[in-house]
Structure formats: structure tokens, C-alpha cells
Amino acid sequence: MTRRGLLIILSSPSGAGKSTLAKKLMGWDPSLTFSVSATTRKPREGEIDGTHYHFMDEAAFRDMVKNGKMLEHAHVFGNFYGSPEGPVRAAIEAGHDVLFDIDWQGAVQVKHSALRDHVLSIFILPPSIKELRRRLVERGQDAPEVIRDRMKKSWDEISHWDGYDYVLVNDDLETTFEKLKTIVSGERLRLVQQPNLSPFIRQLQEEFEEAEA
């Protein structure tokens, strides 16, 4: 292993381009994987355990939370959702980056988790509120009332921008993507991500001592 993996958090208000950027990032480096969440809700038709979600009962979920085995978790519409630590830790130790699409509340939990040293958090901002609304309308996925709800929620998301390591204004998709690649490439070189450096330094020290002998 030449490096440890990163736990990459991407957050944004709906419509800022986060999902598109995540897909482009995974196309740029196919070794990137999305974190598979755990949930206590029942599987829907076509959903596969371990692929779409890790499905579990509430008792097992609560037990994982109690024992610190969830990086983040939330209670949504009567069901629990969370990110199991085990698979993420295994990926990071194997040198693979793991991508998280979570909100600011989940990001705070992950940044205080046992894997906090490997977290890279990035917030994506729209160039304007007007443009954010336009994108939500033009993508044609939501009814007008849903768009209104998303817009109301957007400022709550944006107001937590300063809790992230990096903030990118997505005024041009390709330019933002280039910046995102630069950030990921640079963060992969952090000292904590390079487990082979300590043995290499010891080797250099031994070579130096032999040369001085």
C-alpha cells in the first residue's frame, strides 16, 4: 500500500451540482467507491442488501451506535440511517477513497469519529440563489411544492459552509470539477495518508549512519 484512502464528504444544497460532481469524480478515478449506508427500513422492490443499503433491524442498529460502530446516523421518517465504520475503515486501510453524500449534520459526526484523521470535507455552493432555483426547476424532477421545500432547506445547509475543509462555488461545472480533482490529488499526499514514509525515513537514517561510520 502506497497510501491510505480518504473519506471524502461532499455536501451542498439540492441543485448545487453535488451529485453530478460526484459522478464525474468517480469517472475520473474508478477506484473511488460510495459509502453504502445502513438502514432499519424494509427493502424496496429491486433493492439488494449490501449494494443499495445494509438492511438491519432497529436493535442491531442501536447496538452499533451504542458501541461506536456508526460514523454518523440520523432518524428520518420513522427509520434509522447511518454509515457503518467497518467497511469504510477497511477501504481506507486498503488505500481506497470512500465518497460520502451527506448533509452538514452527518459531516459533523464523521469529522468527530474514529476516522477523523482521514476526512476530507468539501461544500459545494451555487453561484446564486436565483441560479439554484433555476437548476431545480429545469431538471424537472420535483413538483413545485417540493422545490419550495428544497429552497427553504437550502439556506440551512448553506449556513454551515464554514465547517468544511474546502468550499467551491459551482458557477461552471468543468472548472469546479478541475478544482475538485486538484483538492483530492493534493489531500492524498498528506502525511497521515502515507504509511510508508516512516519506514522510508528509518531506512534513510540507517543509510546515513552507515555512510558516517
pLDDT tens-digit series, residues 90-131: 999 999 999 998 899 999 999 999 999 999 999 999 999 999
Number of independent structural domains in the chain: 1
Domain residues for the domain of 120 are 7-33+97-212
Total-model pTM: 0.87
Look at the chain and count its residues.
Answer: 213
Ranges in the chain, pLDDT < 70: 1
Quote the pLDDT of residue 41: 93
Quote the pLDDT of residue 1: 61
Does the residue 56 lie in any domain? Answer: no
Does the residue 48 lie in any domain? Answer: no
Quote the pLDDT of residue 152: 87
Does the residue 57 lie in any domain? Answer: no
Residue 184: CATH number of its domain: 3.40.50.300
Does the residue 51 lie in any domain? Answer: no
Does the residue 107 lie in any domain? Answer: yes
Cα–Cα separations (whole angstroms), residue 33 to 5, 22, 85, 148, 172 = 11, 10, 14, 32, 25
Does the residue 70 lie in any domain? Answer: no
111 and 121 in contact (C-beta within 8 Å)? Answer: yes
Does the residue 53 lie in any domain? Answer: no
Does the residue 25 lie in any domain? Answer: yes
Quote the pLDDT of residue 111: 96
Question: Residue 147, SS3?
Answer: helix
